[in-house]
Amino acid sequence: MPSAEHDAIVEMLGDGPFASDGGQLDVPRLRSEMEAATAQSVMPEGWLGEPLEVGIVPAEWLSGPTADESRVLLYLHGGGYLLGSIATHRALAARIAEAAGIRSLIIDYRLAPEHPFPAALEDSLAAYDFLLGEGLEPEKVALGGDSAGGGLAIATLVAIRDSGRPHPGPCVALSPWTDLEVTGESVDTRVDPMVGGREDLVATASLYLNGADPRTPTASPLHADLTGLPRIAIQVGTAEKLLDDSTRIAETIRAVGGDVELEVFEDLIHVFQSFAPHVPESLEAIEKLGSFLERCL
């Protein structure tokens, strides 16, 4: 059973702060609500952010007193490719990095509809190139992200491989959105206040894709050739509408001989890790992500 703290947040969210009106997305309102919902998030004690520019987008180094600067988590925030920012996700990125004993680079990749696919992918690749240009060893650069950012992290691994760039280290994906065609059964069978319904997801994907095929491998990595990728850890809750996005991509990775660790948390909602430090399951999950990164890096 979920903790009382988890259930209290679910009750507080009600019908969900980020749902649309019948598939009509008021993006400015949704962005404002996400910023407000995460305004009280705090980084771990002693951790600070250092702003910089990476390519054409803002970024931030996140580091604390025990962080090994030779190892980095490149973190890609969630928000359906329409919402989210460094401000909404720096605390989550920092907590994962702290658990691994490393620092993190989080970027404000360009968002749709102003900057549709493949802008976000271009920015994540530019951030990876930046880290290599800083002298980091490729295998000591991990990728990570939640929701759309988790899908983007896996898509970035595919693009890195296909471009001939040096292969990075491991990847952590929290409730990744891997199927922009929105074909998972869990979209209809789960009630999750953190994710809108099928109409909402289809509308969100449409704004991001801007006419591109939803099965494009670097938009929907579920449809990509997933051979030869680094080790990937995926966490997802059984209460999630995007549960099938995680279970199906894990099955696909295993089918091609890849190395994936899928952990399914009973009755927890979408990106529950973001509720740290208030929810015990969130802290437990983040510690597991940190241990995975520490082992692999």
Residues with a known catalytic role = 147, 240, 270
Q: How far is residue 272's CA from residue 138's CA, in Å, rounded to a whole number?
A: 29
Q: How far is residue 74's CA from residue 194's CA, in Å, rounded to a whole number?
A: 24
DSSP character at residue 235? E
Q: How far is residue 197's CA from residue 229's CA, in Å, rounded to a whole number?
A: 31
Do 232 and 217 touch, CB atoms closer than 8 A?
Answer: no
Encoded amino acid at 129, one letter: D
Q: Residues 113, 114, 120, 122: is their CA dihedral positive or negative?
A: positive
HSE-up (13 A, CA, CB side) for residue 31: 13
Backbone angles phi, psi at 15, to 5 degrees: -80, -5
In the chain, the N- to C-terminal Cα span, in Å, equals: 33
